[in-house]
Amino acid sequence: MRIRACLCTRHLYAVSFITFARSCVASPYGQITAAFRQCPPDIPPLQFQHQLGCPRPVDGNTDSRPIDWSPWTHPPLCIQGERSNTVKYCVFTNSQHGNGGISMITTPETAADSAEILNDSGYTHTKSFVDSDADAAFQVIDIPGKGKGVVARRQINRSEVIMADWASIIVDLDFPTSVKRIQGYRLLHVAIDQLSDPDLVLQLARSSSFSADIVEDVLRTNAFSYTLAGDPHMALYPKVSRINHACHPNAFIRFTPSSLAVSIVALRDIKPGEEINITYVPLGKTREERQADLQKWGFNCTCSLCTASKAEIAASDYRRSKIRDMRQEVMKAVEAWDGTRAVKLTHEVLELMRAEDLAPLYASQYEIIARLYWKARDKKTGAKYAKMSIDTLVDQGYLKDSPDALSTLLKSFDD
């Protein structure tokens, strides 16, 4: 793969164990936030604690019996933070989870609070297809000028799940600046070595000229931002990392908050041999803004949207600028209690989104329209657009088709 951006949802982090520079970018998908349970303090030391869904924090001082550090398959290895004597960072590994195992570098408390996420196998992402070498809809190949990339092996239909993947590495964002660099590298190496297939991570693209360690380079080039137990982390998805960027992508990343799994879903029909791509930068930006964002990873985008004719680029940039400006106007109209103007502008925004084929943004726009009508006491029209929002989310795989979904959403309008 060519120089890979850290695939992102709301925030994007470039990781440096020297300066830990952050590069933040907004995106329509929403932040990847892992579901977690806040455990009560002083849980008694019961056996089979992983079955409680609220295990005790464990660290390097925990007893050596496997049951004492369950659900992890390896005893935690920890180092003390430099900033505080009360904070330590440990490697927590479950080598059987997902596709090749998961290693987390985080605090014992965060690991305990989020251990329940291991109970979710990612069925939401895998139920509709078999992701094997023989039956996969995609293959990874060398692409001239880009390194590795992913192409379709057969016809892929719109909304079809193309690929599923699981996080292999999750790292607390405070970790790099809280420990000595050599100690940090050591913990990263342990995290990789304890996976059942370390090569899934080690063979990924590396593009950072500032990294002093191979794992740091891989993370800088490929890691998502990720919220675990309420704290900012980074997460690495090895298969997804092979997918290249396009400003007008034919696929998108689908997340579920209760799982470490993600899936890639087709935004439109994809022909055999066509490259599968996602966006590394937020949807809706102009060409100049997109190119500026991508410079952080050292390449100019040559996708069809960026290399279109001057007239086509100008028209696209105009629509995207209008979307941004009009969404701000919608908020001003709502604050001014001008419901008629707010509804009118929101409909216009939706039409511009359709013209730009910004499908991942449709559902939220339908919900905005629904809420505006609902507040104006036009509940019939409000319910209509609420259903359109839910139907879109179901179609894209974010929600299960549930008879209670509409009533639940409408109830939230009155909160």
Per-residue pLDDT for 133 more than 70? no
Q: What is the mean pLDDT of the chain?
A: 81
pLDDT tens per residue across span 314-330: 999 999 999 999 999 99
Which range in 8-12, 132-136, 292-296 is most confidently predicted, on average pLDDT? 292-296
Range list of β-strands (E), 240-285: 244-245, 251-255, 261-266, 275-278
pLDDT tens per residue across span 272-299: 999 999 988 888 899 999 999 888 766 7
User: Which is more confident, 57 or 223?
Assistant: 223
pLDDT tens per residue across span 154-211: 999 988 889 999 999 999 999 999 999 999 999 999 999 999 999 999 988 887 667 7
Check if the beta carbon of residue 234 is closer than 8 Å to that of residue 170: yes
Q: Determine which of 11-15, 39-43, 138-142, 296-300 has the lowest per-residue pLDDT on average.
A: 11-15
Q: Where are the alpha helices (DSSP H) in 295-378?
A: 310-335, 339-355, 362-375
pLDDT at 123: 58
Phi then psi dihedrals of residue 77, to 5 deg: -115, 125
Reported as a pLDDT band with limits 50, 70 and 90, residue 310 is very high
Which range in 4-13, 212-221, 393-402 is most confidently predicted, on average pLDDT? 212-221
pLDDT at 42: 39
Beta bridge mates, 356: none
Please report, for residues 71, 138, 346, 374, 407, the alpha-carbon distance to residue 369 in angstroms, rounded to integers and kept in the order given.
Answer: 45, 37, 6, 9, 16
Per-residue pLDDT for 217 more than 70? yes
